[in-house]
Amino acid sequence: DVEKARPYVNAIPPDKYSARYHNLLSMMAYHSMEDARALEESEKAIQLQKYNSMFYLRRGIMLASMNKNDSALACLRRAYNLESDDQLILEGMARQHLHNRQADSALFYIELLETINPDQVGIYYYRGVAYAIKRMWPELKECHEKYIQKGTADQFYTRRKEELAQYIESFEKLKK
């Protein structure tokens, strides 16, 4: 809750040389729907710690939510170049490529994510979406089934399960 956190954040002495301080301000602004300020503070954090992959990841997520997809992907690529084995970065890359309907690129990052953490249940969802984009229906159906079996611990399980089911339903209607 941003409003509950605000008094604590405001009590922190300003430190224009602290990347973490600017990152905190950026996240507060982002969650307060102050996009311009969020990006400004994010840029300050990155300028102070140019090799912090998490700052690029967070900026990429912010830009994606603002529908600045090319800029989001550029930030996510920078994060990936700095830390190519981080699960959050790989997931961010896969999600952004799926959003951009670049299924082959998404599948590349999904494979890397699976190599690092084969137990990550979101893999089946992301792979299913990629197969839906590519119109690979048997593979989509298989991912949906695996997600139903293994994905119940996913916090987005209900929504994601239904989304994959809708892709399958759309395909079934096309076959008729």
pLDDT in tens, 9-68: 888 888 999 999 999 999 999 999 999 999 999 999 999 999 999 999 999 999 999 999
| Residues 6+ away with beta carbon under 8 Å from 19 | 44, 45, 46, 48, 49, 52, 55
Averaged over 111-138, what is the pLDDT? 94
| Predicted pLDDT of residue 26 | 95
| Predicted pLDDT of residue 102 | 97
- Helical ranges in 18-65 per DSSP H: 19-31, 35-48, 53-65
Contact 65, 39 (CB under 8 A): no
| Predicted pLDDT of residue 171 | 86
| Residues 6+ away with beta carbon under 8 Å from 118 | none
pLDDT at position 175 over 80? no
| Predicted pLDDT of residue 5 | 84
| Percent of the chain whose predicted confidence (pLDDT) is above 70 | 99
pLDDT at position 176 over 80? no
- Angstrom distance (rounded) from CA 41 to CA 62: 12
- Helical ranges in the chain per DSSP H: 2-10, 19-31, 35-48, 53-65, 69-82, 87-99, 103-116, 122-134, 137-150, 157-175
| Predicted pLDDT of residue 9 | 82
Q: Which token pair is 68? A: 């600045």
User: How sure is the predictor about 139, in pLDDT bands with cuts at 50, 70 and 90?
Assistant: very high
What end-to-end distance do the CA atoms of the chain give, in Å? 48
Averaged over 95-122, what is the pLDDT? 95
| Predicted pLDDT of residue 1 | 77
| Predicted pLDDT of residue 88 | 96
pLDDT at position 95 over 80? yes
pLDDT at position 8 over 90? no
For 32, phi then psi, to 5°, come to -95, 10
